[in-house]
Structure 1
Amino acid sequence: MAKKSIGFIGTGVMGTSMVRHLMKGGHHVAVYNRTKRKADDLIKEGAQWCASPAQLARESEVILTIVGYPHDVEELYFGKDGILANAGQGTYVVDMTTSKPALAQQLYNEAKKYGIYALDAPVSGGDTGAREAKLAIMAGGDEPVFKELLPVLELMGENIRLQGDAGAGQYTKMANQIAIASTMMGVSEALAYAKKAGLDQENVLQTIETGAAGSFSLSKLGPRMIAGDFAPGFYIKHFIKDMAIAIESADELGLKTPGLVVAKKLYQELAEKGEENSGTQALYKYYMENS
Structure 2
Amino acid sequence: MALYDEALPAFDVLGKKSFFLGEVGNGAKMKLVVNMIMGSMMNAFSEGLTLAGKSGLSPQTVLDVLDLGAIANAMFKMKGPTMIQNNYPPAFPLKHQQKDMRLALALGDENAVSMPVAAAANEAFKKARSMGLGDLDFSAARETLKLPEESS
TM-score by length of 2: 0.89
The 5 Å alignment of 1:11-30 reads none
What residue in structure 2 maps to residue 203 of structure 1?
Answer: 61
What residue in structure 1 maps to residue 8 of structure 2?
Answer: 150
TM-score by length of 1: 0.48
1:242 aligns with 2:90: no
What residue in structure 2 maps to residue 28 of structure 1?
Answer: none
Question: How many angstroms apart in 2 are the aligned matches of 1:197 and 1:213?
Answer: 21
Give, as a single letter, the amino acid of the residue that structure 2 aligns with 1:238: H
Give, as a single letter, the amino acid of the residue that structure 2 aligns with 1:168: N
Aligned length: 149
Give, as a single letter, the amino acid of the residue that structure 2 aligns with 1:262: A
What residue in structure 1 maps to residue 142 of structure 2?
Answer: 284
Question: How many angstroms apart in 2 are the aligned matches of 1:181 and 1:228?
Answer: 18
Give, as a single letter, the amino acid of the residue that structure 1 aligns with 2:83: M
Alpha-carbon displacement from aligned partner over 1:70-119 (angstroms, at most 9, x marks no partner): xxxxxxxxxxxxxxxxxxxxxxxxxxxxxxxxxxxxxxxxxxxxxxxxxx
Asked if structure 2 preserves the Cα contact closer than 8 Å seen for 1:187 and 1:217, the reply is: no
| Runs of at least 4 residues off by over 6 Å | none
1:165 aligns with 2:23: yes
Question: How many angstroms apart in 2 are the aligned matches of 1:150 and 1:233?
Answer: 27
Question: How many angstroms apart in 2 are the aligned matches of 1:273 and 1:252?
Answer: 30
Question: How many angstroms apart in 1 are the aligned matches of 2:104 and 2:42?
Answer: 16
What residue in structure 2 maps to residue 89 of structure 1?
Answer: none
Question: How many angstroms apart in 1 are the aligned matches of 2:64 and 2:107?
Answer: 36
In the alignment, structure 1 segments of 5+ residues that lack a partner are: 1-142
Please report how far the alpha carbon of residue 242 of structure 1 lies from its aligned counterpart in structure 2 after TM superposition: 0.7
Percent identity between the two aligned chains: 26
Question: How many angstroms apart in 1 are the aligned matches of 2:48 and 2:70?
Answer: 13
What residue in structure 2 maps to residue 99 of structure 1?
Answer: none
Alpha-carbon displacement from aligned partner over 1:216-270 (angstroms, at most 9, x marks no partner): 3312211220122211110111111111111111101111111111111111111
The CA RMSD measured in Å over matched residues stands at 1.7
More strand by share: 1
Asked if structure 1 preserves the Cα contact closer than 8 Å seen for 2:36 and 2:100, the reply is: no
What residue in structure 1 maps to residue 114 of structure 2?
Answer: 256
